[in-house]
Amino acid sequence: MNEYTYPILFGVTIGTFARMIMLKTDYRQYPTYLHGKIIHLALGFIAAGLGSVAVPAIMEKEFTAITFLTIAASQFREVRNMERNTLSEMDSYELVPRGNTYIEGIAVAFESRNYLVIFTSLLTTMAYLVWNIYLALVVTVICIYVLRKYMSGSTLGDIVSVEEAEVSFDGAGLYVDNIYIMNIGLPIRQKEIMKYGMGFVLTPKNFDVRSTIANLGQRQAILHDVSVSLGVIRDSGTPALVPLIKRDLDDGRIGVFVLPQDKDAKKAIKVIRSVPVLENAIRMPSESKAQNK
Amino acid sequence: MVLEKAILATITTNANKVTAGASIFICDDKEEMEKVAANLEAILDGISHALSDELYIIVKH
């Protein structure tokens, strides 16, 4: 035991706790089981340890010790690879895949959460060492508040308006509102689609959003989330029953065609509104220099 | 090169409309054509698209 024992223990505990609150299981269902969670808690514990010992190392003038943080960086980049590989492998067995853009977003979140743990531990240990445990607790509360507030990005509800739209056939062409979705030849399939299908139209609220919702990865994310939350009427061997999103080239609206098992339009609109806006899909043409001149 | 889409079969009631290419199934009437197309759709795991009233194709997406 020395003067650093308690601050380090405090920092490690808070860091691990921070990782724990960032590890929620929701409709994305990952990680759900204890084994998957243990992996992330263990890595969070390691990250917390690294963050905590950094401050005493500086206080003892062991500046070279800080270089081990670079090892941490490469370690956690590995976490991102691990998540990406697992999710991509599983994606081919999903009835409605997540898509690579969504997976990349999840993988990035997993990596960055470990860095957030490092910062949390670093700040709390520092507060403990410089001031005392009470101020360290205040710093903890601030850190956790910041984590919770900025952990999630915006959702589709912020950038588009969602309305239910009619699903109809013009000959063999399937339409949602006036947006062409696909060609369905067989009358039996057409009947199934009229029976089970639902259509929604997403209207962008501004010009930037047009390119964001046009992104194929973002569209796949919408389909995946709706299918997870409301079920999907689909099976291998029925390729005609496929949820799809197409774009109206005139005004940038997108037509969402889904086959939910729970045909509740209000719920579906709620689900679509809460689909995360994928970081990799965000485009901001209004920020370009050409627009401002 | 990886083919993303391919015509797996052609089903028609009018043999004059098609020549060689994918496997061609010539049917007597529209009803038979729809049955054949529905079966082939399930077997080939493709979607049947209607090009006209007398011509269906099964496409792998």
Q: What is the pLDDT of residue A58?
A: 86
Task: Give the CA distances from residue A110 to residues A22, A36, A106, in Å, rounded to whole numbers and listed in that order.
Answer: 9, 12, 6
Of the candidates A183, A236, A242, the beta carbon closest to that of B49 is on A183
Cβ-proximal residues to A97 (8 Å cutoff; 6+ apart), any chain: A91, A220, A224
Q: How far is B32 from chain A (nearest CA, A)?
A: 12
Residue A257: closest CA among A202, A185, A187, A211 = A202
- The yes/no answer to whether this complex scores an ipTM above 0.95 is no
Pairwise CA distance, residues A51 & A66, whole Å: 10
| A170 touches B: beta carbon within 8 Å | no
Decide if pLDDT at A25 tops 70: no
- Does residue A120 lie in a domain region? yes
Residue scoring higher pLDDT (B45 or A243): A243
- Does residue A292 lie in a domain region? no
Residue scoring higher pLDDT (A1 or A127): A127
Q: What is the pLDDT of residue A106?
A: 86
Mean pLDDT of A154-181: 91
Residue-range definition of the domain harbouring residue B14: 6-60
Domain boundary among A129, A152, A175: A152
Contacts with A182 from chain B: Cβ below 8 Å: 47
Pairwise CA distance, residues A21 & A145, whole Å: 11
Decide if pLDDT at A166 tops 70: yes
A133 and A170 fall within a common domain: no
Domain boundary among A152, A167, A192: A152
| A188 touches B: beta carbon within 8 Å | yes
A167 and A121 fall within a common domain: no
For chain A, what percent of residues have pLDDT higher than 70?
98
**A238/B34 Cβ within 8 A:** no
A205 and A73 fall within a common domain: no
Residue-range definition of the domain harbouring residue A77: 5-152
- Which DSSP helix (H) or strand (E) runs through B60? strand B55-60
User: pLDDT, tens digit, for every residue of A202-231?
Assistant: 999 988 888 899 999 999 999 999 999 999
Q: What interhelical angle do A133-151 and A5-21 show, nearest 10?
A: 20
Q: What is the pLDDT of residue A45?
A: 93
Contacts with A189 from chain B: Cβ below 8 Å: 38, 41, 48
- Does residue B1 lie in a domain region? no
For chain A, what percent of residues have pLDDT higher than 90?
48
Decide if pLDDT at A27 tops 90: no
Pairwise CA distance, residues B3 & A48, whole Å: 49
Task: Name which of B41, B43, B58 to mutate to probe chain A: the one with the most chain A Cβ atoms within 10 A of its Cβ.
Answer: B41
Mean pLDDT of B35-61: 87
Domain boundary among A137, A152, A167: A152
Which of A:240-279 have CB within 8 Å of B? 240, 242
Q: What is the pLDDT of residue A248?
A: 92
A134 and A11 fall within a common domain: yes
Tokens, residue B43: 């077997």
- Does residue A102 lie in a domain region? yes
Of the candidates A171, A236, A239, the beta carbon closest to that of B47 is on A239
Of the candidates B42, B45, B49, the beta carbon closest to that of A185 is on B49
Of the candidates B38, B49, B56, the beta carbon closest to that of A188 is on B38
- Does residue A200 lie in a domain region? yes
Mean pLDDT of A181-210: 91
| A135 touches B: beta carbon within 8 Å | no
User: pLDDT, tens digit, for every residue of A149-161?
Assistant: 877 778 899 999 9
A148 and A275 fall within a common domain: no
| A173 touches B: beta carbon within 8 Å | no
Q: How many independent structural domains does chain A possess?
A: 2
**B37/A186 Cβ within 8 A:** yes
- Does residue A113 lie in a domain region? yes
Of the candidates A186, A236, A239, the beta carbon closest to that of B34 is on A186
Mean pLDDT for all residues in chain A: 89
Tokens, residue A55: 């401050």
Tokens, residue A108: 């990035």
Residue scoring higher pLDDT (A165 or B5): A165
* φ, ψ of residue A9 in degrees (nearest 5): -60, -45
Q: What is the pLDDT of residue A293?
A: 64
Cβ-proximal residues to B43 (8 Å cutoff; 6+ apart), any chain: none
Confidence at B22, pLDDT banded by 50, 70, 90? confident
Mean pLDDT of A31-37: 81
User: pLDDT, tens digit, for every residue of A227-241?
Assistant: 999 999 988 878 888
A146 and A163 fall within a common domain: no
Task: Give the CA distances from residue A105 to residues A20, A89, A187, in Å, rounded to whole numbers and listed in that order.
Answer: 20, 16, 40
Provide the residue type at A148 as one letter: R
- Does residue A146 lie in a domain region? yes
| Least confidently predicted of A86-95, A213-222, A282-291, B28-37 | A282-291
- Which DSSP helix (H) or strand (E) runs through B48? strand B47-52
A161 and A148 fall within a common domain: no
**A184/B49 Cβ within 8 A:** yes
- Does residue A111 lie in a domain region? yes
- Does residue A267 lie in a domain region? yes
Size of interface A-B (CB pairs under 8 A): 43
A147 and A183 fall within a common domain: no
- Helix boundaries (H) for A152-206: 156-159, 187-196
Of the candidates B37, B45, B61, the beta carbon closest to that of A185 is on B37
- Does residue B10 lie in a domain region? yes
Residue of A nearest to B48 (CA): A185
Q: What is the pLDDT of residue A148?
A: 84
Q: How many independent structural domains does chain B possess?
A: 1
Decide if pLDDT at A291 tops 80: no
- Identify any residues that bridge with B12 across adjacent strands, giving them in sequence order: B26, B55
**Can you point out the beta strands (E) in chain A?**
160-165, 167-170, 173-176, 179-183, 198-204, 244-247, 254-258
A171 and A33 fall within a common domain: no
